[in-house]
């Protein structure tokens, strides 16, 4: 299911919106919010990053299981084979990213929850 989903136009649009949200909040335009949060939870001791990553992880849990943000960061680093510019950003940018996550994760969960149930009953 996830492999099929990754070739889907909707999936590519979701990734583009995710990267836009990251860029608008002071991050690199080629990095998703999930990868940025995965990096921040692994390299920085920020309670805020752990909390926001938990929200994102819960949204993708029905399809991917645990650790979506850390896996996104690892996939990004392994996929490119080069140093990725993952910025912490300003406090204002991090607040914008938090609001973006809080606004979009319920929508994401509305899609991933039924897809995850369908994946298990098939």
42-52 pLDDT, tens digit per residue, is 887 788 889 99
Would you give per-residue pLDDT tens digits along the chain (122 residues)?
A: 455 455 577 778 878 888 988 898 888 888 899 999 998 898 877 888 899 999 999 998 988 889 999 999 888 877 765 656 676 777 888 888 899 899 988 888 888 888 777 777 77
pLDDT, tens digit, for every residue of 79-96? Answer: 765 656 676 777 888 888
Phi-psi category of 43—alpha, beta or left, where left has phi over 0 and alpha has psi -120 to 50?
A: alpha
77 CB burial (10 A radius; 0-12, 13-18, 19+): middle
Residue 112 to residue 59: CA distance in whole angstroms: 7
Delimit the domains of the chain by residue range.
Answer: 2-121
- Give the residue carrying structure tokens 């995710």: 18
């Amino acid at each position: 299911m996830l492999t099929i989903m990754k070739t889907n136009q909707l999936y590519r649009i979701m990734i583009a919106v995710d990267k836009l949200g990251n860029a608008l909040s002071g991050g690199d335009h080629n990095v998703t919010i999930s990868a940025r949060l995965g990096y921040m939870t692994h390299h920085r001791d920020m309670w805020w990053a752990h909390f926001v990553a938990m929200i994102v992880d819960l949204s993708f849990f029905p399809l991917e299981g645990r650790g979506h943000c850390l896996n996104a960061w690892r996939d990004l680093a392994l996929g490119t084979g080069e140093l990725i510019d993952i910025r912490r950003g300003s406090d204002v940018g991090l607040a914008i990213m938090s609001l973006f996550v809080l606004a979009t994760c319920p929508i994401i969960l509305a899609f991933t929850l039924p897809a995850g149930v369908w994946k298990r009953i098939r």
